[in-house]
Amino acid sequence: MWTDTPDKYKEARIMFMDEESSNWTWDNEAKAYFWHRFYRHQPELNFDNPEVQLEMIKVVDFWMKMGVNGLRLPSVPFLFEEEGTNCENLPQTHAFLKRLRAHIDKHYKDRILIAEANLWPEDAATYFGEGQECHMNFHYPLMPRLFLGLRTEDAYPIVDILEQTPATPPNSQWALFLRNHDEIGLEMVTEEEKDYLFKAYANDPNTKHNVGIRRRLAPLLNNDRRKIELLYTILFSLPGTPVLYYGDEIGMGDNIYLGDRFGVRTPMQWNMNINAGFSSANPQKLYLPVISDPVYRYESVNVATQDENPSSLMWWIKNVLAMRKRLNLFGRGDLKFIDSSNSKILCFARSYQKQNIIVVANLF
């Protein structure tokens, strides 16, 4: 996306105001401005160009033929631009997604597209496209409310957002998660809730990034095994598909001093060998360093060590997932909240065909 003047698309918001002052950046070689919705080192493609669309479908074909099970479509609301709009959630985006979905359905079996749209549930649900666009959709507003409910010992934030969540088409599901590769985005909470979450979970200024908190799950919860298990139990019990971020199943730590979101993207800790078993390269050649924090260092927090310990967090998660897989109602059943006189208790019923289960979570 090139222009001679940075005056186009003025209604489009700047995503990272603390690091970028414009969505346009001057390129000395091209003698023109190029468009980016995020960082200047991430220029956007011109999806209005049919050749770009075709090339992107070729990219999808490359990975699908390689055997990947699915693709995450990052920042999918921002694919197209149009003067006089905020350049988000445009009809052209949905038209392209329908084309991409039709291509995948025609040529491949059992593959999925996951939409990454940090929107309110009703708006995010449009990316299901009535079953003709993305198979799954990340449920962003749920994530901060799980942490809010845990810290305030109040089930209301969790119940409230799930009651605002529309049903999905029969061939689609919400993707539920506690943490991912970015910060905990706080765009979908009130200013009061945002301030509370910052005070509760981000005492160190280095943990803040943009409008969010860049921390992994274990450090967020002060490495409290009971709280980690509680949040995962709730996540695995809700309708949809739970998404686990690598390393959180073993309680990996982070490095808040690396800058950007790199602190939660350090090498997976497979074992206690060099580079945590992630690579045999010279440690100084790694793109990001392994975790050396005394509490979370890879020599003690790794897959090999936890695999040998039946009481480890990894084995607990394996066992809970095995139970979840035995009961179809968790992924596909109905959800009905049960009123409780105690606001610290989250209680709901799940039912599917002849299966019925009541889940009770104590947030105290």
Q: Are 213 and 201 in contact (CB under 8 A)?
A: yes
Distance between CA atoms of 213 and 205, rounded to whole angstroms?
Answer: 9
For the chain, how far is it from start to end, CA to CA, in angstroms?
52
Taking only the tens place, the pLDDT of each residue in 92-115 is 999 999 999 999 999 999 999 999
pTM (2 d.p.): 0.92
Q: Are 197 and 147 in contact (CB under 8 A)?
A: yes
From the candidate CATH numbers 3.40.50.300, 3.20.20.80, 3.90.1170.50, 3.30.160.340, the one assigned to the domain spanning 142-333: 3.20.20.80
pLDDT at 260: 87
Angle between helices 313-326 and 225-237 in degrees, nearest 10 = 20
Is pLDDT of 72 > 90? yes
pLDDT band at 209 (very low <50, low <70, confident <90, very high): confident
pLDDT at 294: 95
pLDDT at 302: 98
pLDDT at 259: 85
Distance between CA atoms of 246 and 279, rounded to whole angstroms?
Answer: 16
pLDDT band at 332 (very low <50, low <70, confident <90, very high): confident
**Domain map of the chain by residue range?**
142-333
Is pLDDT of 296 > 90? yes
Taking only the tens place, the pLDDT of each residue in 18-42 is 788 999 999 999 999 999 999 999 9
Is pLDDT of 16 > 90? no
Taking only the tens place, the pLDDT of each residue in 214-268 is 999 999 999 999 999 999 999 999 999 999 999 999 999 999 999 889 999 999 9
pLDDT band at 57 (very low <50, low <70, confident <90, very high): very high
How many whole angstroms from its chain centre is CA 237? 18
Is pLDDT of 331 > 90? no
Is pLDDT of 328 > 90? no
Strand intervals (E) in the chain: 2-3, 24-27, 32-35, 70-73, 112-115, 136-138, 173-177, 184-185, 212-213, 241-243, 334-337, 345-352, 355-362
Question: How many CA atoms does the CB half-sphere of 235 hold within 13 Å?
Answer: 28
The answer for residues whose C-beta is within 8 angstroms of residue 24's C-beta and 6 or more apart is: 3, 6, 8, 33, 34, 35, 36
Residues 355-362, mean pLDDT to the nearest whole number: 95
> What is the overall mean pLDDT for the chain?
95
Distance between CA atoms of 292 and 127, rounded to whole angstroms?
Answer: 40
